[in-house]
Chains A and B, each alone.
Chain A
Amino acid sequence: MPTQDELVQLYRQMFLIRRFEEEAARAYAQGKIGGFLHLYIGQEAVAVGVSAVMRPEDYFVTTYRDHGVALARGMTSRACMAELYGKESGCSKGMGGSMHMFDREHNLLGGHGIVGGHIALAAGAAWASKYRGDGRVTLCFFGDGATNIGGFHEGVSLAALWRLPVVFVCENNEYSMGTPAERTLPQRDVSKKAEAYDIPGLRFRGQDVTDVMEQLREPIERARRGEGPTMVEVMTYRYRGHSMSDPGKYRTAEEVEERKTRDPVRIGRGHALAAGVSEEALAAVDAAVEAEVEDAVRFADESAQPDEALLHTLTLAPNGDADSPPPAGSYPAEKRSPLSADAAPTEVHHA
Chain B
Amino acid sequence: MTEMNMVQAINDALRLEMRRDDRVLVLGEDVGKVGGVFRVTQGLYDEFGEDRVIDTPLAEGGIIGAAIGMALYGLRPVPEIQFSDFIFPAFDQIVSEAAKYRYRSGGEYTCPMVIRTPVGGGIRGGHYHSQSPEALFIHTPGLKVVCPSNPYDAKGLLLSAIRDEDPVLFFEPKRVYRAAKGEVPEGDYTVPLSEAKVVREGKHVTVVAWGAMLYEVLASAEEVAASHGIETEVIDLRTLWPIDLDTIVESVKKTGRIVVVHEAPKTCGFGAEILTLIGEKAFLHLEAPPVRVTGWDTPFPYTLETDYLPLQHRITPALIETAKF
Residue numbers of A with Cβ under 8 A of B are: 34-36, 86-87, 94-97, 99-100, 113-117, 145-146, 148-151, 176-179, 183-185, 250, 305-306, 308, 310-312, 314-315, 321-325, 331, 335-340, 342-351
Contact = CB atoms under 8 A, between A and B. Distances in A.
B109 interface: no
The 3 closest A-B pairs by CB, nearest first: A34-B124, A86-B303, A148-B57
A179 B60 contact: no
20 contacts: A34-B125, A35-B124, A35-B126, A35-B129, A95-B301, A97-B302, A114-B88, A145-B57, A148-B58, A150-B62, A310-B304, A312-B298, A323-B265, A343-B212, A345-B122, A346-B178, A348-B38, A349-B38, A350-B34, A351-B37
B69 to A, nearest CB: 16
Nearest to A245: B37
Contacts of A308: 304, 307
Contacts of A183: 55
Given A97-B302, A311-B301, A340-B215, 15 more contacts: A35-B124, A35-B126, A86-B302, A148-B59, A178-B30, A312-B296, A322-B297, A323-B266, A331-B307, A337-B311, A343-B176, A343-B215, A345-B175, A349-B36, A351-B129
Contacts of A312: 296, 298
Contact of A151 (B57, B89, B128): B89
Interface in B205-241: 212, 215-216, 219
Given A35-B126, A250-B34, A315-B299, A337 B58 contact: no
A312 B125 CA distance: 19
Contacts of B62: 148-150
Given A99-B128, A322-B297, A343-B215, A184 B58 contact: yes
Given A36-B125, A150-B89, A336-B306, A250 B33 contact: yes
A198 B37 CA distance: 37
Nearest to B88: A114
A215 to B, nearest CB: 26
Contacts of A343: 122, 175-176, 179-180, 212, 215-216
Given A99-B128, A311-B308, A340 B219 contact: yes
B123 to A, nearest CB: 5
Interface of B: 29-30, 33-34, 36-39, 55-62, 82-83, 85-86, 88-89, 122-129, 174-180, 212, 215-216, 219, 265-267, 294, 296-299, 301-304, 306-309, 311-314
A312 B129 CA distance: 20
A179 B29 contact: yes
A339 B309 contact: yes
Contacts of A331: 307, 313-314
Contact of B215 (A86, A115, A323, A342): A342
Given A250-B33, A342-B179, A348 B307 contact: no
A34 B215 contact: no
A87 B29 CA distance: 32
A339 B306 contact: yes
With a 10 A CB-CB cut-off, give which of A86, A151, A250 has the most chain B CB atoms: A86
B252 to A, nearest CB: 23
A349 B39 contact: yes
A108 B56 CA distance: 31
Contacts of A350: 34, 37
A34 B309 CA distance: 16
Given A311-B308, A339-B309, A178 B297 contact: no
A309 B34 CA distance: 41
A105 B249 CA distance: 57
B177 A149 contact: no
A95 B302 contact: yes
B179 to A, nearest CB: 5
Nearest to B130: A35
A314 B298 contact: yes
B176 to A, nearest CB: 5
A329 B219 CA distance: 24
Contact of A95 (B123, B219, B303): B303
B303 to A, nearest CB: 3
A176 B58 CA distance: 8
Contacts of B219: 340
A227 to B, nearest CB: 30
Max chain A C-beta neighbours (<10 A), residue from B36, B89, B267, B308: B89
A94 B124 CA distance: 13
A149 B89 contact: yes
Given A325-B296, A343-B215, A146 B175 contact: no
A306 B302 CA distance: 10
Given A323-B266, A325-B296, A149 B59 contact: yes
A114 B294 CA distance: 25
A145 B55 CA distance: 13
Contact of B311 (A97, A321, A325, A339): A339
A322 B37 contact: no
Contacts of B267: 321-323
A315 B298 contact: yes
Given A179-B34, A322-B297, A331-B313, A150 B61 contact: yes
A185 B59 CA distance: 11
A116 B58 contact: yes
Contacts of A185: 57
A306 B303 contact: yes
A311 B306 contact: no
A133 B55 CA distance: 45
